[in-house]
Amino acid sequence: MNKAEQLASLVRNAKHMVVLTGAGMSTESGIPDFRSSEGLWKKYDPFTVSHVDTIDNDYDAFHSFYGQRIAQQLQNISPNEGHNILARWEAAGIVKFLATQNVENLHQRAGSKNVAQLHGGLDHIYCHHCGTPSTLEAFLEKKPCSSCGGRLRPNIVLFGEMLPQDVWSQAFTEIARSDLLLIIGTSLRVSPVNQLPLEARGKIAIINMDETPFDDKFDLVIREKAAEVLREVESLL
């Protein structure tokens, strides 16, 4: 059996399949990932633009980076066939739960409903100092908080911040009870998410173009593009 046939066999036999995705899920939607050769962290220092301290220390750098990512999200990005297939698999009862590190909401826009956004989402803005909710437009126009004059930010997990406890424990529980964990498009370099696969008790498969530090722990490693593999697997189900 080729690797897509092996994955199709694992999917057919799974009773509680869970999916964990990263930025590699969205590159085929035109959104760069972070650590591959064309990744964002090759152009920007993550600890400058994506660290919580930057909001107070260098708001211009923080705002410039996230302003362009939010503007891009509002423009012409859309789910790719990989997102659509995972949504169809949820509707068919194949995928029971999806945890993502991604913040552009493409899984939900494709129709996935049972989604845990482990690193939050770019589509909600609030004041970093008083928590008052604000709007994408106010953030893009670099307006101060309407309540305290503080600095606005998207509701995502920055370096130096904790993950939302509710989504973390939901993902932890679902992965621990899965009999198949399918990991797609993540370098598994960022904790604590990269510890989640170690909680899986069943089979683990990964679709990722580059190797990860955990590949030797997985039952199936597929070094191909996510959407292509998912399309082939769907045709074999």
Bridge partners for 221 per DSSP: 206
Residue 209 in the binding site for ligand APR (CB under 6 A): yes
Cα 69 to its chain centre, rounded Å, is: 14
Query: Least distance from C-beta 144 to ligand APR, angstroms?
Result: 26
Pairwise CA distance, residues 195 & 213, whole Å: 11
Q: Which pair of tokens denotes residue 104?
A: 């552009």
Query: Least distance from C-beta 156 to ligand APR, angstroms?
Result: 7
Position with the least CB separation from ligand APR: 24
Residue 119 in the binding site for ligand APR (CB under 6 A): yes
11: Cβ contacts below 8 Å, ≥ 6 apart: 17, 89, 94, 180, 182, 233, 237
Site for ligand APR in 162-191 (CB under 6 A): 185-187, 189-190
Q: With CB under 6 A as the contact rule, which of the stretches 12-20, 33-41, 59-67, 90-98 interacts with ligand APR?
A: 33-41
Which of 23, 99, 110, 204 lies at the binding interface for ligand APR (CB under 6 A)? 23
Helices (DSSP H) in the chain: which residue ranges? 3-13, 46-49, 54-57, 59-74, 81-91, 106-110, 136-140, 165-177, 226-236
Residue 29 in the binding site for ligand APR (CB under 6 A): no
Known binding-site residues for Zn(2+) equal: 127, 130, 145, 148
Residue 215 in the binding site for ligand APR (CB under 6 A): no
Residue 105 in the binding site for ligand APR (CB under 6 A): no
Kindly tell me which of 104 and 145 has the beta carbon lying closer to ligand APR.
104
109-112-72 Cα angle (round to 5): 25
Q: With CB under 6 A as the contact rule, which of the stretches 16-24, 85-93, 135-143, 196-204 interacts with ligand APR?
A: 16-24
Query: Least distance from C-beta 182 to ligand APR, angstroms?
Result: 12
Q: Are 199 and 179 in contact (CB under 8 A)?
A: no
- Catalytic positions, written as ranges: 119
**Residue 133 host element (H or E):** strand 133-134
Q: With CB under 6 A as the contact rule, which of the stretches 12-20, 71-79, 169-177, 201-209 interacts with ligand APR?
A: 201-209
Which of 10, 11, 33, 90 lies at the binding interface for ligand APR (CB under 6 A)? 33
Q: Which pair of tokens denotes residue 112?
A: 């996935």
Bridge partners for 69 per DSSP: none
Pairwise CA distance, residues 163 & 139, whole Å: 22
Residue 112 in the binding site for ligand APR (CB under 6 A): no
Bridge partners for 115 per DSSP: 98
**Residue 96 host element (H or E):** strand 95-100
**List of residues contacting ligand APR (CB under 6 A):** 22-24, 27-28, 33-36, 39, 46, 101, 119, 185-187, 189-190, 207-210, 225-226
